[in-house]
Amino acid sequence: MSRAPAQPLCSPISRGPIRSVLTYTTDHSQSVAVMSVDLGSEWMKIAIVKPGVPMEIALNKESRRKTPVAVCLKENERLFGDSALGVAVKNPKVVYRFLQSILGKTADNPQVAQYQKHFPEHQMQRDEKRGTVFFKFSEELQYTPEELLGMILNYSRGLAQDFAEQLIKDAVITVPAYFNQAERRAVLQAAHIAGLKVLQLINDNTAVALNYGVFRRKDINSTAQNIMFYDMGSGSTTATIVTYQTVKTKESGTQPQLQIRGVGFDRTLGGFEMELRLRDHLAKLFNEQKKSKKDVRENLRAMAKLLKEAQRLKTVLSANAEHMAQIEGLMDDIDFKAKVTRSEFEALCEDLFDRVPGPVKEALAAAEMTMDEIDQVILVGGSTRVPRVQDVLLKAVGKEELSKNINADEAAAMGAVYQAAALSKAFKVKPFLVRDAAVFPIQVEFSRETEEEDGVKTMKHNKRILFQRMAPYPQRKVITFNRYMDDFVFYINYGDLGFLSEQDLKVFGSQNLTTVKLSGVGSSFTKHSDAESKGIKAHFNMDESGVLILDRVKLGNTISSLFGGGSSEPTANVTEPVTDEEEVSPEAEKDQERSEKQEESAQEKPETEEGKEGEPQAEEQKDNKEDQAETQHRGHRGVQKEVSVSCFSELINVENELTESEKWDRHSVVTEDSLKNSHVFLPHIRLQDLTDRDLEKQEREKTLNSLEAFIFETQDKLYQDEYLAVVTEEEKEQITGKLSEASNWMDEEGYAAGTKELKEKLSELKKLCKAMFFRVEERKKWPDSLAALDSIAEFFLFYFFYKRSIFETFFIFFCLGNLEGNAVLSKDIDAKRSLLDREVNYLLNKAKFAKPKPKDKAKDKNTTSTENSKANSTEDAEKIITPKSDDGETDYFILANPLI
């Protein structure tokens, strides 16, 4: 369940009903800001929430609201975003982008080959240990896609921190809804490398739906509203059907909820493919002009320039029927110019436009709905601005119009940062329930020896569905193995993927998630033969990030588990759980039973009814998704513990901490995973070295700029009147000489000098000019200090001119205003003024509280009218007060009525 904005939308914890674990302060070490990253294939959008800033897109260093997902690796520096793209047209070999398509992919995956075709300038090689690929930058340096993405995520964190002006560690990151387990874990690894604490991986379509619902919560009621979001970005296209309605909850009463009902996608349909078609068309036009004997397609630098122009051209043609493409010095100093029409562009991408309705049909099929049940279709993603895409889609959905009432570029980032605020303990937002759905089914498979009536023993293969297609998550489920009394093996695989095309299946990769071997089962039963066996329960959890975890394995209902490390309690989250923990018998899994043979179904049913003698039973908890059930992802906070061979020692350590009474049924679990690439954390010490080097470079550049600025500014100041007034000719000559010497040194050696040497040179010059700067500042302060002194002196002179000691003090103050040069400091003037001010306040208070002379009691009450008249006439006269001085003498002074 998600939480939505209170008033204000997000408020820092303070007191009252707002739950809190942190004490909010302004100390950066206790900062509470959170961020989101809408991680697209070409662009990323970053949003933050901090006290006083409910939800806002973070601007990058170029003050843009979106940043290219690109990193440039040079010999001595790294560049990101727009700076990296600037290098791409000059040296494309050192710029890496569009990494999303190869995350979690093995070397033989078709998308890896496609990536190599699109970017032939990169050397991609197979990682024999992990089975994936890495980029060979040089003989000494190689980087995996996860490491490069980690650099980019670390850069995004820096942008968020600069914008928020405080440290940020917690983040929600968007991923495509069609990402499988290997791809999701690759993103988590990249975030780990970047030092980010992932609160949740949220599907980008879910983030869009949440953003839409949060700002329209007043329109959501008990009547279901079905909305389709059609999202075409740079690299892929996704259609999502979402149902909005209010539901009752135990915790917070009636609240709005969104439920993902159906998802359809096309992994390679997007704006980038259109741009590549347009790039190749421009290359063809250039070759046809025959201005060069060389083929432009063989020049990597020229092709990078053509791709950049194609990207601009595609945007312009969305609003214009034709446009002129032009590039100066495309190749061999030859300029290129050619007219391209929208009709030509549409002809180039005709087959792509034919694929536009595909995701819509898949989403409807997954949701088991028709277009008549869809209330509106909303466009999301930059590539939906292409007119032909809108025309084809409008015809496919059969609606009067396509809705554009959402920010097509920033909706996912804003929905994700809302989720980040809901997950953070520092903010409170109004509840908004989210029921996401797993796109791919997952099942458990195992084999068991059975004995036929004739005594012949055979091996029977069994399947149990853990999570069906479009099953809600987070969700926990339990499989109970009742007939195993010894060590055994079971497999966690994807279920029926028949809804995918042949090409999608190839891209999908291996359908085996993991193989789990349980050891020590037989010895445990032998030791406790008198104990009643309730089977072996395997607890699975699909967490809020859509990552599948084998949480633990237990014998019966004992508290100890064969498999340890995960928490047995569901993690608190903003996503509404579907169930808590219920056991579903095999016959309830109708979809799976239909796929099995009729005789096998007849054998399974009576076994299940017999309880212990039945086959493994599936208990539903709440969790579902794919890829590496053995990897432990602790809660939605993004802390992963890998259950591969590399982490087996950690499991042993956990076991050794148990007491003797707990050890009887605790045994080792050995896992073998066919997708090792998504398990192994990459060593990123070298990435820290790169970060340190970047910081050193930034520090050197900062010092160099400071030194240059100091030299030029000080040279200019020496000709200004305010500096000439405080410096002697000798001093001026000395400073001028040193500045000229430093300037010459900068031209000859300074730009190659190290940070330490630059700092020493700057410190030397500042020390030389310190006295001059100090005198100038003092002269600037004098007017205000003397004006304040004059004011209090005049007040004293007019009203309190008495007692010689006070007069002498005043005389000294008065003379200060006439001093020249730097003999008197502004702080000395302020000190004298404070002393005089204290004396004045003392005398004022003394006069204010002086008691009037008491009346004569013996005076006749019957006073004559003449006396009354005389008394009245003297009321406005001056009052004489005679205070005593320290020497006993009487001092006289006058207080005017306005001062009393």
609, pLDDT greater than 90: no
Per-residue pLDDT averaged across 736-750, rounded? 86
Per-residue pLDDT averaged across 649-654, rounded? 22
The pLDDT of residue 786: 73
794, pLDDT greater than 90: no
Nearest residue to 773 (alpha-carbon basis) of 709, 827, 713, 816: 713
419-432: per-residue pLDDT in tens?
Answer: 999 999 888 888 89
Look at strands 376-380 and 472-473 and give their pairing: unpaired
300, pLDDT greater than 60: yes
Cis before 683? omega within 30: no
The pLDDT of residue 799: 56
CB 142 within 8 A of CB 134: yes
Per-residue pLDDT averaged across 695-712, rounded? 84
The pLDDT of residue 560: 39
User: What's the token pair of residue 559?
Assistant: 């508290």
Per-residue pLDDT averaged across 848-861, rounded? 56
Q: Domains of the chain: which residue ranges?
A: 34-218+409-431, 440-559, 682-794
Q: Rounded to the nearest 5°, which phi and psi values hold at 246?
A: -90, 145
Q: Which long-range contacts (CB under 8 A, 24 or more apart) does 125-134 make?
A: 127/677, 129/676, 129/680, 130/676, 130/677, 130/680, 131/106, 131/107, 131/675, 131/676, 131/677, 132/104, 132/105, 132/106, 132/107, 132/677, 133/102, 133/105, 133/107
Q: What is the DSSP string of 411-450?
A: HHHHHHHHHHHHHSTTEEEEEEEEEEE-SS-EEEEEEEEE
**Residue with the larger pLDDT of the pair 649 and 269:** 269
Q: What sign has the CA pseudo-torsion 701, 702, 707, 711? A: positive
798 pLDDT tier (thresholds 50, 70, 90): low
H or E element in which residue 757 lies: helix 755-799
The pLDDT of residue 92: 92
The pLDDT of residue 53: 79
**Residue with the larger pLDDT of the pair 546 and 878:** 546
Mean pLDDT of the chain: 76
189 pLDDT tier (thresholds 50, 70, 90): very high
Percent of residues, the chain, with pLDDT higher than 70: 71
The pLDDT of residue 852: 61
The pLDDT of residue 621: 41
649, pLDDT greater than 60: no
753-792: per-residue pLDDT in tens?
Answer: 888 888 888 898 998 898 888 888 888 887 777 777 777 7
**Residue with the larger pLDDT of the pair 812 and 13:** 812
The pLDDT of residue 658: 25
446-462: per-residue pLDDT in tens?
Answer: 988 777 777 777 888 88
User: What's the token pair of residue 46?
Assistant: 């970053």
H or E element in which residue 145 lies: helix 145-164
User: What's the token pair of residue 802?
Assistant: 């008495």
User: What's the token pair of residue 392?
Assistant: 């084809």
478, pLDDT greater than 80: yes
**Domain 440-559: homologous superfamily in CATH:** Substrate Binding Domain Of DNAk; Chain A, domain 1 (2.60.34.10)
811, pLDDT greater than 80: no
302-360: per-residue pLDDT in tens?
Answer: 999 999 999 999 999 999 999 999 999 999 889 999 999 999 999 999 999 999 999 99
672, pLDDT greater than 50: no
Output b/e per residue, 131-166; b: 16+ Cβ within 10 A.
bbbbbebeeeeebbbbbbbbbbbbbbbbbbbebbeb
The pLDDT of residue 839: 72
Per-residue pLDDT averaged across 484-506, rounded? 90
236-277: per-residue pLDDT in tens?
Answer: 999 999 999 999 988 778 999 999 999 999 999 999 999 999
723, pLDDT greater than 90: no
636, pLDDT greater than 70: no
688 pLDDT tier (thresholds 50, 70, 90): low
Contacts of 406 (CB under 8 A, 6+ apart): 208, 211, 212, 378, 379, 380
625, pLDDT greater than 60: no
381, pLDDT greater than 50: yes
**Residue with the larger pLDDT of the pair 757 and 555:** 757
Q: Rounded to the nearest 5°, which phi and psi values hold at 448?
A: -140, 140
The pLDDT of residue 151: 93
Per-residue pLDDT averaged across 83-103, rounded? 93
Bridge partner residues of 536 (DSSP):
481, 555
Per-residue pLDDT averaged across 535-552, rounded? 89
The pLDDT of residue 76: 73
390, pLDDT greater than 90: yes
367, pLDDT greater than 90: yes
In this structure, which CATH number among 1.20.1270.10, 1.20.120.530, 3.30.2350.10, 3.50.50.60 belongs to the domain 682-794? Answer: 1.20.1270.10
472 pLDDT tier (thresholds 50, 70, 90): very high
Q: What number does CATH give the domain 34-218+409-431?
A: 3.30.420.40
677, pLDDT greater than 70: no
801 pLDDT tier (thresholds 50, 70, 90): low
Per-residue pLDDT averaged across 288-305, rounded? 92
Q: What angle do CA 845, 849, 855 make, to 5 degrees?
A: 155
pTM of the model: 0.70
**Residue with the larger pLDDT of the pair 824 and 91:** 91
The pLDDT of residue 617: 42
Per-residue pLDDT averaged across 385-413, rounded? 94
Per-residue pLDDT averaged across 55-77, rounded? 91
21, pLDDT greater than 90: no
The pLDDT of residue 152: 95
Q: Hey, how many other C-beta atoms are within 10 angstroms of the C-beta on 290? A: 7
The pLDDT of residue 139: 81
Nearest residue to 496 (alpha-carbon basis) of 446, 550, 441: 441
Which of 9-13, 285-289, 613-617 is predicted most confidently? 285-289
The pLDDT of residue 557: 44
805, pLDDT greater than 60: no
742, pLDDT greater than 80: yes
Q: Rounded to the nearest 5°, which phi and psi values hold at 682?
A: -85, 140
871-894: per-residue pLDDT in tens?
Answer: 444 444 444 344 444 444 433 333
The pLDDT of residue 854: 62
**Residue with the larger pLDDT of the pair 844 and 397:** 397
